């Protein structure tokens, strides 16, 4: 398969940065364009009007968005400096996995790259697995990076 457009899902964790590094290696080797995306989660237990009424939650959400923008800007610059055609996307949603899968469809990407901490059992049940959610929601191949360097 020809991976002309790769989507990498990131946060600021070491495993997400490792996924971005693997994406850079692939993109350079294949001449792919890359979209780097991050999802700021909206708490499904609250509503938008609740965010507007509670300053602490609004502040937290705005700080999370600002931090995600910084991560995306740093990674975008790193990819651009490596000569890779790159765009960044900041998404908001209740489900990071579904947001990434939806973006993959919208952009018609050929591959999604995501990091996974590899939690199993109780930790996976409690923490969930964004990588697993992407695997089940996506219609395109998914490369899961499990280890940092």
Domains of the chain with bracketed CATH: 5-145 (3.40.50.620)
Cα separation, 104 vs 9, whole angstroms: 10
- Cβ atoms within 10 A of the Cβ of 73, count? 12
Identify the CA nearest to 142 among candidates 12, 1, 17.
Answer: 1
Is the pLDDT reported for residue 123 higher than 50? no
Is the pLDDT reported for residue 128 higher than 80? no
What mean pLDDT do residues 59-64 have? 81
Characterise 41 by phi-psi region: left (phi > 0), alpha (psi -120 to 50), beta (else).
beta
Is the pLDDT reported for residue 82 higher than 50? yes
pTM of the complete model: 0.85
Cα separation, 129 vs 59, whole angstroms: 26
Cα separation, 149 vs 136, whole angstroms: 27
Q: Looking at residue 124, what is its pLDDT? A: 42
Q: In the chain, what percentage of residues exceed pLDDT 90?
A: 55
């Amino acid at each position: 398969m020809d991976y002309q457009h790769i989507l990498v899902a990131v946060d600021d964790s070491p495993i997400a940065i490792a996924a971005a590094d693997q994406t850079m290696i692939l993109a350079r080797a294949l001449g792919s364009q890359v979209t780097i995306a991050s999802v700021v989660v909206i708490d499904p237990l609250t509503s938008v009007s609740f965010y507007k009424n509670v300053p602490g939650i609004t502040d937290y959400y705005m700080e999370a968005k600002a931090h995600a923008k910084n991560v995306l800007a740093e990674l975008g610059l790193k990819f651009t400096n490596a000569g890779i055609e790159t765009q960044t996307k900041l998404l908001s949603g209740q489900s990071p996995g579904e947001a990434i899968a939806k973006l993959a469809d919208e952009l018609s990407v050929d591959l999604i790259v995501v990091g996974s901490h590899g939690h199993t059992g109780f930790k996976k049940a409690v923490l969930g697995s964004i990588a697993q959610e992407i695997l089940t929601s996506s219609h395109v191949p998914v490369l899961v990076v499990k280890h940092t360097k």
